């Protein structure tokens, strides 16, 4: 059969449409080829980054240690508690995924985390999908997380994170400061050493970078730049002295009302700050109690009062105008248009200037200052660092004000009114008393160590020059001894186990309306002292504002000095100490408990074994510490089962060592030696409970 020739006629209209579409595509391709911006996108950037993933690898933050290597701050895993409250989250009633029993859950959160029951219940009764529980529901440690998980409460969950952990809690909080985890995961120091040395502590971040395909899978090997961990910082703080100061603060808080309080201790021969506390204080783990961001040691400026007489008397001695046997009429003195009064406004009649110092006479101080003149007194004060920052390694240091223009200002400055100083300035100036007139620069950092163990910075003693002659120092030290032992304060500033010299201060508080506040509480009371008197090892400075019982400061300071003297084995002067009674402790870590106990007993030491483990994981005092025969040595074993020892007769310092080694919370009534305590000897210790201790003065 003959095939027909079939021809398809194509409409000219469709040909034209096809041609236009083809032409548009060509134009679009040409535009893309020559353009860097299409539909609002930079094609060059898009091409370079569309398949690249880059993630930051945060460096490990360095640890902060005390002078003996005890950790004060470190990074730890932490968790934020959340509760799912929407019933729709549960699909099978046999396996609930939301909070079912709100009352039981709230009670558990109160018992385990200390969250207020009513607050927790209120959160659980909110509308929504999930809730959190404020400060106490954040930064939860691993042990508390496990404790909650063991209760099998439905609806509770945890968000893992990383945070800074402060092992000693409030102890030294304003010195150490705190660091906060930011939204991006970076930890940044915001106060204290954490802030001052943030760049050194945080290290150098790294990164990982790789290409991925359209489905999100990695293509090829990743480029990795490893992070470099931050350096570790060792402070001059001694944790045991710090804990003694913290306990003194707690006793003061329990027995008194006051506005603020500071108490610091400095090594008399080096300038190292070995302890510093204040109240109000805060918990750097939770920031609970943080209302003041100023470190009192360096940031509080106030009129110091009569502790300045130490330096105005020295100024007169150095100028050659002082004769302690010269006499004056005490009680009051007219200066320009003002009248200067002694605290005993009627005075003690005609007395000499040595007695004037011991009795803390403002009239005597004014007489000396007016004879000396404003230029010389100002220059002397400034030579000791008043009016300038010391440069200690802490943020927020203030300089204070030395103003001596008018006669009345000159007179009042001689007894510490009308000028302002900081605690750290007073400690620096007091160092001349213990170094034969040479002033030392105070410091808080002992050393900085990188992650390879190399010391990148070494702190230490720094002399700031001879400020006062040896003869003047001997004279003022004798006068300060007489203040404590022959003055008007009786025995209130006399520690029982060490000889201490010092000077009290009572300064009026300036009124915002001009002049000074009135009333028995409106004073800043202070004390500057050194001990032991014959060969000083420590300098102390304490001050309190608006306390309702002025005798309380003397009580807590002297008891703390006694504990420090016991701890440092300086209850006797060096010439009287029998070297045969001093024992240098060995390192007992990883040693057998029974063998170590026998070895200590053979040296006439008293081992206190904590736990029923076989090996020692910690000891106190630490290795190489020197202790006297008869001293207790605490041995922490590889066991969490602790039995309560009989602590009757133990000192405050010994109880502190015991409680802190096992993590037992405590409350003290008074200071001294133990009379009663709440956990019976031989009972298993529950670390969630608190040991209540009643002490009697030794």
Q: State which of 214, 232, 250 marks the end of a domain.
A: 232
| Cα–Cα distance list, 415 to 334, 357, 398 (Å) | 15, 10, 21
Is there a single domain that holds both residue 571 and residue 639?
Answer: no
Q: How far apart are CA 459 and CA 445, in angstroms?
A: 6
pLDDT at 578: 46
Is there a single domain that holds both residue 463 and residue 327?
Answer: yes
Q: State which of 551, 575, 599 marks the end of a domain.
A: 575
Output the CA torsion sign for 258, 665, 156, 110: negative
Residue 249 falls inside a structural domain:
yes
Q: How far apart are CA 214 and CA 517, in angstroms?
A: 75
Is there a single domain that holds both residue 585 and residue 546?
Answer: no
Q: State which of 524, 552, 575 marks the end of a domain.
A: 575
Residue 5 falls inside a structural domain:
no
Is there a single domain that holds both residue 590 and residue 570?
Answer: no
Residue 190 falls inside a structural domain:
yes
Pairing of β 179-181 and β 187-189 = antiparallel
Q: How far apart are CA 430 and CA 460, in angstroms?
A: 18
State the residue range of the domain holding 20.
Answer: 12-49
Is there a single domain that holds both residue 586 and residue 564?
Answer: no
User: pTM above the 0.85 mark?
Assistant: no
Is there a single domain that holds both residue 228 and residue 258?
Answer: no
| Cα–Cα distance list, 599 to 602, 622, 627, 634, 654 (Å) | 5, 16, 15, 14, 21
pLDDT at 215: 66
Is there a single domain that holds both residue 496 and residue 589?
Answer: no
Residue ranges in 182-224 assigned as alpha helix (H)? 192-196, 198-202
Q: What is the CATH number of the domain that holds 161?
A: 3.30.70.2110
Q: What is the DSSP letter of 321?
A: -
pLDDT at 336: 92
| Axis-axis angle for helices 239-255, 551-567 (nearest 10) | 160
Is there a single domain that holds both residue 168 and residue 290?
Answer: no
Residue 54 falls inside a structural domain:
no
Q: How far apart are CA 632 and CA 648, in angstroms?
A: 14
Question: Could you list the active site residues?
Answer: 306
Is there a single domain that holds both residue 207 and residue 251?
Answer: no
Q: How far apart are CA 166 and CA 71, in angstroms?
A: 8
Output the CA torsion sign for 102, 103, 108, 113: positive
Q: How far apart are CA 278 and CA 670, in angstroms?
A: 19
Which residues have C-beta within 8 Å of that of residue 515, sequence separation ≥ 6? none
Exposure on the CB side of residue 254, measured as CA atoms within 13 A: 12
Residue 312 falls inside a structural domain:
yes
Q: How far apart are CA 168 and CA 113, in angstroms?
A: 18
| Cα–Cα distance list, 408 to 290, 337, 368, 418 (Å) | 39, 8, 13, 9
Residue 56 falls inside a structural domain:
no
Beta strands in 450-592 (DSSP E): 455-458, 463-466, 501-508, 523-531, 538-545, 582-584
- Asked if residues 413 and 377 have their Cβ atoms less than 8 Å apart, the reply is yes
Q: What is the CATH number of the domain that holds 659?
A: 3.30.10.20
Count the domains in the chain.
4
Q: What is the CATH number of the domain that holds 305?
A: 3.40.710.10
> Among candidates 391, 444, 476, 483, which has minimal Cα distance to 267?
444
pLDDT at 103: 95
Q: How far apart are CA 133 and CA 155, in angstroms?
A: 14
Is there a single domain that holds both residue 172 and residue 261?
Answer: no
Residue ranges in 568-694 assigned as alpha helix (H)? 593-602, 652-662
pLDDT at 537: 96
Which residues have C-beta within 8 Å of that of residue 193, sequence separation ≥ 6? 64, 175, 176, 177, 233, 235, 393, 394, 444, 445
Is there a single domain that holds both residue 36 and residue 123?
Answer: no
Is there a single domain that holds both residue 505 and residue 434?
Answer: yes
Residue 185 falls inside a structural domain:
yes
Across the chain, which has 698 residues, the per-10-residue mean pLDDT values are 49 66 67 55 51 78 94 87 92 92 94 93 91 86 88 90 86 95 85 96 85 71 83 96 93 92 97 97 92 95 97 98 96 94 91 95 97 97 98 96 94 96 98 97 97 94 97 96 88 90 94 87 95 94 93 93 91 48 82 91 92 89 78 89 91 82 81 83 91 76
Residue 59 falls inside a structural domain:
no
- What DSSP letter does each residue of 48-85 carry, written as one string? HHTTEEEEEEPPPPPPEE-TTS-EEEEEEEEEEEEEE-
pLDDT at 576: 43
pLDDT at 258: 95
């Amino acid at each position: 059969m003959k095939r027909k020739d079939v021809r398809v006629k194509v409409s000219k209209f469709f040909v034209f449409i096809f041609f236009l579409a083809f032409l548009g595509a060509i134009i679009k391709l040409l535009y893309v080829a020559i353009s860097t911006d299409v539909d609002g996108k930079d094609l060059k950037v898009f091409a370079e980054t569309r398949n690249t993933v880059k993630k930051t690898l945060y460096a490990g933050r360095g640890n902060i240690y005390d002078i003996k290597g005890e950790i004060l701050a470190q990074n730890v895993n932490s968790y934020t508690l959340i509760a799912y409250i929407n019933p729709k989250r549960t699909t099978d009633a046999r396996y609930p995924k939301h909070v079912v029993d709100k009352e039981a859950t709230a009670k558990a959160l109160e018992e385990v985390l200390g969250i207020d029951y009513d607050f927790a219940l209120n959160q659980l009764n909110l509308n929504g999908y999930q809730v959190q529980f404020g400060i106490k529901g954040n930064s939860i440690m691993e042990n508390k997380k496990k404790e909650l998980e063991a209760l099998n409460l439905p609806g509770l969950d945890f968000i893992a994170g990383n945070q800074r952990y402060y092992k000693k809690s409030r102890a030294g909080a304003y010195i150490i400061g705190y660091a906060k985890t930011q939204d991006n995961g970076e930890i940044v120091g915001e106060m204290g050493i954490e802030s001052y040395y943030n760049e050194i502590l945080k290290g150098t971040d790294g990164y990982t970078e790789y290409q991925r395909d359209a489905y999100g899978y990695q293509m090829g090997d990743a480029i990795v730049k490893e992070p470099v961990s931050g350096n570790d910082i060792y402070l001059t703080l001694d944790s045991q002295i710090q804990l003694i100061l913290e306990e003194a603060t707690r006793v003061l808080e329990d027995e008194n009302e006051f506005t603020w309080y500071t108490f610091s201790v400095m090594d008399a021969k080096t300038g190292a700050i070995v302890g510093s506390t204040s109240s109000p204080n805060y918990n750097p783990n939770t920031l609970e109690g943080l209302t003041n961001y100023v470190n009192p040691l360096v940031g509080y400026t106030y009129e110091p009062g009569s502790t300045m007489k130490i330096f105005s008397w020295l100024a007169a001695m150095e100028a050659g105008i002082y004769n302690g046997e010269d006499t004056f009429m005490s009680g009051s003195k007219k200066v320009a248009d003002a009248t200067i009064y002694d605290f005993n406004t009627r005075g003690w009649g005609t007395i000499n200037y040595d007695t004037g110092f011991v009795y803390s006479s403002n009239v005597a101080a004014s007489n000396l200052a007016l004879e000396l003149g404003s230029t010389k007194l100002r220059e002397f004060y400034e030579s000791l660092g008043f009016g300038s920052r010391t440069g200690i390694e802490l943020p927020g240091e203030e300089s204070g004000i030395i103003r001596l223009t008018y006669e009345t200002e000159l007179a009042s400055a001689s007894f510490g009114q009308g000028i302002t100083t900081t605690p750290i300035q007073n400690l620096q100036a007091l160092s001349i008393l213990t170094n034969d007139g040479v002033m030392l620069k105070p410091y808080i950092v002992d050393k900085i160590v990188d992650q390879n163990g190399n010391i990148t910075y070494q702190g230490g003693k720094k002399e700031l020059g001879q400020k006062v002659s040896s003869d003047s120092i001997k004279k003022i030290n004798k006068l300060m001894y007489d203040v404590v032992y022959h003055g008007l304060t009786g025995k209130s500033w006399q520690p029982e186990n060490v000889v201490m010299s010092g000077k009290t201060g009572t300064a009026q508080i300036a009124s915002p309306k001009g002049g000074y506040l009135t009333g028995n509480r409106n004073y800043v009371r202070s004390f500057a002292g050194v001990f032991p008197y014959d060969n000083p090892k420590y300098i102390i400075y304490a001050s309190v504002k608006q306390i309702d019982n002025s005798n309380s400061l003397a009580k807590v300071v002297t008891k703390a000095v006694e504990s420090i003297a016991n701890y440092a084995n300086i209850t006797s002067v060096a010439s009287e100490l029998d070297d045969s009674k001093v024992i240098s402790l060995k390192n007992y870590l990883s040693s057998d408990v029974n063998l170590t106990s026998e070895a200590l007993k053979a040296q006439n030491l008293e081992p206190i074994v904590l736990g029923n483990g076989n090996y020692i994981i910690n000891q106190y005092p630490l290795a190489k510490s020197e202790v006297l025969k008869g001293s207790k040595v605490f041995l922490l074993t590889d066991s969490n089962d602790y039995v309560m020892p009989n602590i009757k007769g133990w000192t405050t310092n010994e109880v502190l060592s015991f409680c802190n080694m096992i993590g037992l919370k405590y409350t003290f009534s008074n200071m001294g030696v133990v009379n009663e305590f709440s956990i019976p000897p031989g009972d298993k210790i529950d670390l969630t409970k608190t040991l209540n201790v009643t002490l009697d003065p030794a």
